[in-house]
């Protein structure tokens, strides 16, 4: 955790313990993963790496991730009961410990999700301290988003024009871009784009992009 630039970073956040990185951060990972799936999850296979694998149980990382998937926030007292609640809601959860190698941050979770409309996603995210997180892979493609902004995500066939089109739509709506990144498998293969913005995009703007990209997601900041 770096320099605090608000009173409420040193006295706060209000959270469910015991750990900002292993509990609060894990909730946020679950929340963002759930938002990307954007339909109720029916199945989640969750891989825990590094410190998440070794101390996750004691920190309630498992419960926190599932709580996030269910849409609970980091201060929600239902977190400690989330595994039971998931069962009641028909969400099947499995945890596996993995070693993804030294290249991965010690607090890494990879979630394989299936939604009730059959959508599948693979999301890998890291918890970098103080409850802050970063999604680093989406369906195996590198991406970078923190969940702190309004975020536009697309998965599209790599072809000229999509990035330009997205920026045009964003500019037209007077929305300010905070960060943007695009990566692709190979030329002409699948590409993912993540744009973090200070303001929300109107629904019609998002709809416009659905004509050119396979998958379009617009997610709200998660707290």
Partner 1 sequence: MNYRNLRDLIRLAEKRGEKIGEIVIAVEAEQKDMTSEKVREEMVTVWRVMQASIRRGLAEENRSVSGLSGGDAKLVAKTKPSFLSRRILKAVAMALGVAEVNAAMGKIVACPTAGSCGIVPAALTEAANRLKLSEEDVILALFTAAGIGIVCSINASISGAEGGCQAECGVAAAMAAGALTELAGGTPKQVGHAAALCLSNMLGLVCDPVAGLVEVPCILRNAGALMQALLAAELALAGVESRIPVDEVIGAMDEIGKALPESLRETAQGGLANTPTGQKLNRDLPLD
Q: Which residues bind partner 1 (CB under 8 A)?
A: 1-20, 23-24, 51, 54-55, 57-60, 63, 75, 77, 79-80, 95, 97, 129-130
Query: Which among 171, 211, 214 has a CA at the least distance from the CA of 192?
Result: 214
The pair of three-digit structure tokens given for residue 38, joined into one six-digit string: 């954007």
DSSP of 156-170: EE--TTHHHHHHHHH
Cβ 184 to partner 1 shortest distance, Å: 35
Closest contact distance (angstroms) between CB of 112 and partner 1 is 19
51 or 154, CB closer to partner 1? 51
Nearest CB to partner 1, comparing residues 93 and 209: 93
Report, in Å, the least distance between residue 90 CB and partner 1: 22
Cα separation, 64 vs 29, in Å, equals 9
Q: Alpha-carbon distance 91 to 173, whole Å? A: 38
DSSP 47: E
d(CA 95, CA 57) in angstroms, rounded, equals 10
CB of 93 to partner 1, least distance (A): 13
Name the residue nearer to partner 1 (CB basis): 110 or 217: 110
Q: Is 166 buried (19+), middle (13-18) or exposed (0-12) by CB count in 10 A? A: buried
Phi first, then psi: what are they for 188, rounded to 5°? 80, -5
Shortest spacing between CB 170 and partner 1, in angstroms: 24
Residues in the chain: 223
Nearer to partner 1, 35 or 53 (CB): 53
Cβ nearer to partner 1, comparing 82 with 154: 82
């Amino acid at each position: 955790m770096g320099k605090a630039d608000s009173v409420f970073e040193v006295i706060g956040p209000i959270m469910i313990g015991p750990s900002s990185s292993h509990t609060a951060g894990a909730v946020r990972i679950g929340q963002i993963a759930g938002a990307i799936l954007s339909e109720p999850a029916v199945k989640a296979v969750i891989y825990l790496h590094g410190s998440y694998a070794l101390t996750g149980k004691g920190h309630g990382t498992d419960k926190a991730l599932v709580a996030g998937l269910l849409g609970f926030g980091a201060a929600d007292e239902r977190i400690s009961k989330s595994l039971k609640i998931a069962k009641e809601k028909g969400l099947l959860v499995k945890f596996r410990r993995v070693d993804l190698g030294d290249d991965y941050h010690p607090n890494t979770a990879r979630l394989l999700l299936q939604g009730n409309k059959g959508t599948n996603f693979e999301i890998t995210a890291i918890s970098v301290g103080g409850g802050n997180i970063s999604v680093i892979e989406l369906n195996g493609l590198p991406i970078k988003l923190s969940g702190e902004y309004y975020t536009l995500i697309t998965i599209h066939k790599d072809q000229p024009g999509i990035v330009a089109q997205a920026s045009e739509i964003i500019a037209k709506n007077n929305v300010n871009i905070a960060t943007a990144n695009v990566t692709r498998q190979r030329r002409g293969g699948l590409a993912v784009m993540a744009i973090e913005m200070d303001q929300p995009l109107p629904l019609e703007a998002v709809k416009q992009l659905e004509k050119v990209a396979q998958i379009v997601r617009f997610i709200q900041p998660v707290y």
